[in-house]
Each structure stands twice: as structure tokens, then as C-alpha cells.
Structure 1
Amino acid sequence: MTLSTAQHNPGHVASWYAATAHDKTIRPVLDGAIEADVCIIGAGFTGVSAALELAEKGFSVVVLEGERIGFGASGRNGGQIVNGYSRDFETIERRFGPAIAHTLAMMSREGGEIIRNRVAKHGIDCDLRQGGFFAAFTPKQLREFEAVKKSCESYGISGMEMVSKADVGRYVASQRYVGGMIDTRGGHIHPLNLVVGEARAAESFGARIYENSRVVRVNIEGKRAVVNTAKGRVESRYLLVCGNAYLGNLLPRITERMMPVSSQVMVTEKLDPALLNRLLPADYCVEDANYVLDYYRRTSDNRLLYGGGIGYGGQDPANLTGIIRPNMIKTFPELANTRIDYAWSGNFALTLTRIPHVGRLSDTVYFSHGDSGHGVTTTHLLGKILGEAVAGHAERFDVWASLPSLPFPGGRAFRVPLTALGAWWYGLRDRLGV
């Protein structure tokens, strides 16, 4: 197996996404002192979504990115448009009450719609495809999908359809699954092309984006936020903190309530289109129902992108393909001798509640983090909601900010082993089929 190690797109990991990005423009480093209505830390989906929302409304916006646009999870993920949150609506209702559950349910498909609307409005070429398939290994998992579908419909959400074992082959040619569920409003995209396309759209409305401009110090005590980088300084009326798993220790009040978690992705060599047409005949993205799940889809240049695995604390495994390549071969035995051309890892932010952590550090400093594995859609929703709050319409923001967040048990020292122990237990249940 030979992996690509060339830096096709300087400053990014050597991923298939970086190699096939349409726009590889490197934005300038912030050098000197500037002012803006809004300063945003982080040029991933959340920060760029908020920047576009605000720039379109006429706000002067500055975005500071420590590396490159989409450097973190936004430019490394599986590229799947998965609607909803990392907890089902019934769990949300038990925790927060029916009013909150119904309000969040009404928003649950908005992130995907934001993506589709922006792709159409701004002409973003990001290989958008419709449809997602959720695969069940066991009858128990299939019953859980049926419960999810029923629950969603009770909250007014349609678009899910159950798939019998006999019909699995319409979506994926694998003998591993006993059935599943499709979401007609799911889909998949090239995430790096999407986030860079959205950034370009924000710039067209006057937003200024600086790369390789890591924030080293923040002062939010005065009437205006002051944000310092190694070479520059931004003074702004509002500050949005959108660093997610790559925020580091800049603001401990945020980072103590989330944990970086890594996932691995690999991409095969180019395959015969006829083979891919047989393996994935509907061109839907696929994810399975295990606690530590696998996800995969076809790429625009006829490769198979396959992801999975998990690393609590954000550590990369010694062998990036050690877990997911055997799983790919179990799913598609005909790919046993297929070369892997790209493999990489990336971190997403996990909260203890598995619900995004949204709130204020002051009257003019807002943040959103911890999408807990559902970031492609939720970041777009929450980025828009951050923009609404700055523009004086904080009703939806306040719903999210009202949700309690909890620190991880044992603090930062023990959050990784305790969470990993829980994941081991659920992973064992998956393997035993219970």
C-alpha cells in the first residue's frame, strides 16, 4: 500500500480533499491593527457560515484562521449531509422538555437546506449529491431505525423510508446488512470545496479572511473585544469563537466542556465506474448503526471514500488504515487488493451531553462548539444562528444557549479514559449484537 504524502495544498493535511480542491488560494497573514464590526475565530463551517450570514447583511467581518480555511474537521470529514443531532428527539425531550425538543426538531433539517441553498445561490462546485442510507447489522438495529423514523414523524419530520433486507442492494451491494433506512434529504459533498466556496462568497460581500493567523490572546473585558495574533490585532464590537476541536487552550471556559475526538478517513485508487455503480447503485452516502460507526461514499473521480475509527483525546492511531481498511474489505470483499491512495485523520469536538455547546462569554462574545459528530449540517445551522444573534435576533440562539452543558467527569485528566471505557462497552454490545 502506497499513501500520498505530497502536500498538494500547502498547510492542509495530505488528503484527497486537499489534492482535489478547486481553490487553493492562500489568504494573507494578518499584519497590523484593524477594526471590524465582527471578529470571528476559526474558518471552518461554523465561522464561515456566520461570516457569510453577516457579510450579506452588511456587517464588516474579519475571520482569523490559525492554519487554512477548512483545516480542521470542516475540510477532513466524511462529507456526509446527515440531518439531526447526535441525540434523538425523545432523549432531548426527556432532558430538556417538549418545547425545546419541538423547537430543535423544527431546526434539524435546516443545516442541509442552508448547504443546498448556498451551493445553488453562489454556484459552489462541491459535488453535491442527494440521499443517505443508514445500514443495520442486526434486527435490533433495524428496530431502532424504525423507532427513529416513527419519532421523527411525530415531530413533523418526513423523508425517511425503511429498507428491507431484500432491498438493501438498491443502495449498497454488501451482505453485511439486514436492512436499513434512507433519508431522502441527506446527501454528500466535497466538504473542503464547500467551505472554501462559502468563504469566497463571504469575501464577495466584503468579509476579510486571514490564514496562518492563530489567535494567541483575547481580551473581552472592555466594551470592544481585542484579539491578538502573532503579528496583528483586531478590535471589534462583536466576537464569535468558532474554533471547535482546534481551539486549544485559548478560552478554558469553553474547552473544559468539550473533548477532541479523532476519526480516520481513507480513499482508494480510482476504480472502474461499473464496479462503483454495482457497489453503490444509488450513489447515496452510507453509514452503519454501530456505536463506533463506519461511513463511506463514492467520490466524483470514481474512488471509494471510507471512514471510521475513533480516538478520544484527538490522538492519531499509529496506522491510519489499520481499523477501517479491514472493515472496508468486510463490507466489499471484492476490494481486498485495492490500493489506498490517501489516508488522514481529523478531530471533531465532543460534548458530554452530545448536544452542541452554545452560549455567551459576555454580552457581545458568542461561541458555538461540540457538534459531536453531526457537524456538517449543525455547524451551518448554528453559524447562521450566530449571525442572527449579532444582527439583533437572538431568539433561536437563546434556545441553544439555554441548554445546560456539563464538564467531563474527572476533568481534563480523566475525560479520555472514562469516555473510552464507555465507548468500549458500547462497542462490545455492537459486536455481540445486543
Structure 2
Amino acid sequence: MSRNPNKQSFPAPHAPSYYAATAHPAPQRPSLAGAVRTQVCIVGGGFSGLATALSLAERGYEVAVVEANQVGWGASGRNGGQLVNGYSRDLDVVERRYGSAAARALGAMAFEGAAVIRERVARYGIDCDLRDGGVFAALNERQLNELKTRVTSWQSYGHDELQMLDENSIREHSNTDLYVGGLLDKRGGHLHPLNLALGEAAAIESLSGAIYERSPVIRIESGAQPTVHTAGGQVRADTIVVCGNAYLGKTVPALRDRVMPVATQVMATERLAEATAARLMPAGSCVEDCNYMLDYYRMSADHRLLFGGGTVYGGTTPADIEAKLRPHLARTFPELADVRIDYAWSGNFALTLTRIPHMGELENNVFFSHGYSGHGVTTTHLAGRLIAEAISGERERFDAFAALKNYAFPGGRLFRVPLSVLGSWYYQTREKIGF
């Protein structure tokens, strides 16, 4: 992966990940050449763009997706593969910041993204190793109490299928001495994200949608006849949707400072004995801990432990991913301290200053959505449905997000990374001393 996502050479191969190595075969899609006319042009072939295109195609719209590299090349094809419901900020924070009406609107949608994924997997027969069950793991009593508060909050918005776990019952999900308890979200889960993206792309094409790969967008022209320009051609459309997220770069200057690329890393162990995998994670759920700089992990379909964590503000890749993550893996499962690592990779997600997804319109016919702040697998699929609703004239749910105030990162592009690192240090220090 390029160390600077704004200085990529195109086309770029998929990251050297477990997902790329085990991806289903995909067709060689054409680059954009010449002039194309469509109803809606979507910039970006990750989850946001694919979910939007599929939602629109299901409504009968003619759609075209323009992707700089390949479908699922960015965060959508290299993330932890976990269906984490909710947002990167709890609903009580949303209520304090934006009021009860906003909290009610966002609260009602907090679990919808995962439901959209399950609907798509079932409808289009997408083979992506989908499994149910996601656990938030508490390392201390303070975190456990925060999870109890989260349950109460989620239930007040109608979300159930939640189960608090004590020190013993959490071992059914992660057989380690590390946790004092946790929260099981039965509507959470995990999957092979790149195969989900490839399956959704195939579904779009089955509905007569077009996908152009290896076609980086160099300019977006709004106005009466909005147009997406690449080096090889242009797409004229009634509506444009910008879904570049952390990899949008300089393409849309108005959005550039509203998110910051943040790198997170994942590694995959060698195949474990089936008995070992079942002993370490008996229930087959995925797990993330409750630290500010959290660890997240799950067992793959072929019994590899996929272990992720680490955060690098600005989106650079550590020189040695394995060296960074292995101590966290060994702390969680000491018996895997010396296990062979077969794959290690990095990818960027887009962080907003508020940690709430940023959706809206640049012009009346140019929509955008980005900044899922670490909850992208599920929230992208919610966003795709909301954008399709808005384009169809059903704006209420989309506008609930669009009305939320978003801020540029302080300090400009020069100082936003060190300021974010300072804030991260503050929260990590509070955790270490027990606050």
C-alpha cells in the first residue's frame, strides 16, 4: 500500500492481505473510455459506492460506478471484517451534542447497516463467510459499566438481542484471562469484506449497472449537467455521488479537510488446528475491546486468527506491522505468542472530528458520504440506502445526518496529525491510570 494515499500510482494492486489471497474470481472490468451518459454516477468502488449504486439500481435507476483501482481496493477490501452496530460515538453523546430529535433519528437507524448487509447476502447469494455475533470486551469495571449504559441506551431506541457477559461467560467468545466481562450483540457479526464487495459489484451488474475500474477521477464538474472526468473519459449524469472516503485525496477540495485518513493494521496467522480455534473462540463471534486504541479480532473460515489494531493518524503504514501487533496478540492469547504470521497489511479509514459520519450535498445534484470513523462496514451500507432514498425524493432520514454540524480538523493539514496524536495520548493515559 502506498504510504501516502494522495500519491498513489494507478492502477495499484490490492493490499497483500489474507482477503486478496482468498478472494473469489472477479471479471476484468474496463477503464472508462470516451463519453458515457447515465442517471447517477458514483465515485468510488468501495462499500459506500457499491451500497449506493445497488440501492439505486434496485429502485430502477441507471447507475455507473467509477473506481480508481479495483472494486474493494481501499478500506472496504482490507478492514477487520466486523459488523459493528452503532456509531463511533454513543447515542447519549449524539443527544448531548445535537439534541433529542437527532438522537432519536440516528438511534432508529443504528442497527440498519448490518441488516442491509444480511439482506443483500441472502438476496444475491453472496458467499462471504458471514457469521453472527459481535462482542465488546471490557478490560476493567469502568468499561463494563459503560457497556451496561450502552445497552440501556440501545434498548431505549428499540434495539434488543443484546446480552451482558460476565467474566466467565465472555470466555465462550474469547477464552482469555484479559477481560472482566463484555457485551454480546447478537445482530453483530463478521465476514470476508472483499468477497462481500465483489458480490455486491456482481449484483449491481446483474441489474444493468456499469462499473469502471482503473479510472481515477481527476475532476468533478457540477451544474446543470454534472460530469465526472477521468484521464480517459467522462460520465455525464443527472446526479453524482462522491464516495472516495479516506482515498478521495484532492479530488474534491471542499471535502478534503473534513476527514483525516487514519491507518489501522491487520495480520492473519497461519491456519490453526480446528480444535485450537474452537478452544480460543468457542462461539465463533468477533471481538473488539473497549480501549481508546482498541484491538479487534476474529477467526476466519479456515481457522486463522485475524488480529487487528493500531492507529496511525495521517494514514501512513508502519515499517513492521507484525512487530506492532504481535505483543497485543500475545497478551490476548499467550499460546499464540510465537505463531507464524502469514499476512500483514494496513489500510486507511476516514475519521471526522466529531466521529459521526459526514453526509450531505455539495450542490443540488452532488451528494457525498464519508467519515465513518471506524464503523464503516455497517454504516456505509446504511449511507447507501439513505442516499438512494434522498435521490428518490425521500429525504427525511438522509437529512437527519446532513443536518449535523461537521467541522474541519483544527490546525490545517500541517498540524491536524500532531494535534490528533496529542488527543489520543490523553485518552490512553486516562485508561492507563484508571480514569
TM-score, structure 2 normalization? 0.96
The one-letter amino acid paired with 1:113 is A
Residue in structure 2 matched with residue 423 of structure 1 by the alignment: 424
Pairs within 5 Å for 1:256-267: 256-267=257-268
Equivalent residue, structure 1, for 2:239: 238
Match of 2:374?
373
Code of the residue aligned with 1:46 in structure 2: it is: S
Using the TM superposition, name which of 120-129 and 154-163 deviates more: 154-163
Matches for 1:25-424 after TM superposition, within 5 Å = 25-220=27-222, 222-424=223-425
Distance 1:184 1:191, change over 3 A: same
Which amino acid is 2:283 matched to?
Answer: A
User: Shift in Å at residue 10 of structure 1?
Assistant: 7.6
Give the deviation of 1:219 after TM superposition.
Answer: 1.1
Matched residues in 1 for 2:192 and 2:232: separation? 33
Q: Percent identity?
A: 54
- SS of the aligned residue for 2:250 comes to coil
Deviation by residue 1:243-282 (Cα, 9 ceiling, x = unmatched): 0000001111111110000000000001101000000000
| In structure 2, C-alpha distance between the alignment counterparts of 1:323 and 1:290, rounded to whole Å | 16
Amino acid at match of 1:412: R
- Contact 2:113-2:380 at 8 Å conserved across structures: yes
Contact 1:23 1:193 in 2 (8 A): no
Residues 132 and 285, structure 1, Cα contact 8 Å, conserved in 2: yes
Give the secondary-structure state (helix, strand or coil) at the position aligned to 1:157.
coil
State the shift of 1:309 in Å.
0.1
- The answer to whether the Cα contact below 8 Å between 1:136 and 1:142 also exists between their aligned partners in 2 is yes
- Look up the SS of the partner of 1:323 in the other structure: helix
**SS at the partner of 1:40?**
strand
Taking the aligned partners of 1:431 and 1:265, their CA distance within structure 2 comes to 24
Q: Which amino acid aligns with 1:329?
A: A
How many residues of Structure 1 are paired with residues of Structure 2 in the alignment?
425
How far apart, CA to CA, are the structure 2 residues paired with 1:355 and 1:161? Answer: 25
- Amino acid in the other structure paired with 1:318: A
Distance 1:26 1:433 in 2: 53
The structural deviation recorded for 1:431 is 2.6
What amino acid is the match of 2:122? A
Instruction: Give the CA deviation at 1:412.
Output: 1.4
TM-score by length of 1: 0.96
| AA aligned opposite 2:278 | N
Poorly superposed stretches of 4+, deviation over 3 Å = none
Is the alpha carbon distance of 1:10 and 1:214 closer, same or farther for their aligned partners in structure 2, counting shifts above 3 Å?
closer
Structure 2 residue 434 is the aligned partner of structure 1 residue 433: yes
The runs of 5 or more residues in structure 2 that have no matched partner are: 1-10
- State the SS of the aligned residue for 1:322: helix
Asked whether the 8 Å contact 1:26–1:68 carries over to 2, the reply is no
Q: Structure 2: how far apart are the matches of 1:360 and 1:354? A: 19
Looking at structure 2, the residues matched to 402 and 336 of structure 1 have their Cα atoms a distance apart, in angstroms, of 48
Contact in 1 for aligned 2:12/2:69 (Cα 8 Å): no
Tell me, in whole angstroms, the C-alpha distance in 2 between the residues paired with 1:82 and 1:24. 27
SS in 2 for 1:59: coil
Measured in 2, the distance between the counterparts of 1:317 and 1:176 equals: 26
Cα distance in 2 for residues equivalent to 1:72 and 1:87: 23
Partner Cα distance (2:228, 2:169) in 1: 55
Deviations 1:196-230 (A, max 9, x none): 1011001100110010000011111x301111111
| Cα RMSD (Å) | 1.1
* Amino acid in the other structure paired with 2:192: H
For residues 159 and 254 of structure 1, what CA distance do their matches in structure 2 show? 37
CA distance in 1, matches of 2:235, 2:211: 12
Alignment of 1:8-19 (within 5 A): 11-19=13-21
1:432 and 1:386 mapped to 2: Cα distance?
43
Residue 147 (structure 1) shift: 1.0
The aligned amino acid for 2:367 is: Y
C-alpha separation between the residues in 2 aligned to 1:414 and 1:246? Answer: 20
What SS does the aligned partner of 2:323 have? coil
The aligned amino acid for 1:156 is G
Listed one character per residue, the Cα deviations across residues 127-177 of structure 1 (whole Å, up to 9, x for unaligned) are 000001111111111111111111112222212211111222111110111
Kept in 2, the 8 Å contact 1:30–1:211? The answer is yes
What is the alpha-carbon distance in structure 2 between the residues aligned to residue 203 and residue 433 of structure 1? 52
Task: Give how far 1:397 is off.
Answer: 1.2
How many angstroms apart in 2 are the aligned matches of 1:10 and 1:348? 18
Q: CA deviation at 1:26?
A: 2.4
Residues of 2 paired with 1:277 and 1:10: CA distance? 37
Say whether the 8 Å CA contact 1:49–1:380 is kept in structure 2. yes
Runs (5+) with no aligned partner, structure 1: 1-8
- Compute the displacement of 1:402 (Å): 0.6
* Separation in structure 1 between the aligned mates of residue 167 and residue 340 of structure 2, nearest angstrom: 30
Structure 1 residue 23 displacement after superposition = 2.6
Q: What do the CA deviations read for 1:339-380 (whole angstroms, capped 9, x no partner)?
A: 000000000000000001111111111000100000010000
Separation (CA, whole Å) in 2 of partners of 1:319 and 1:113: 36
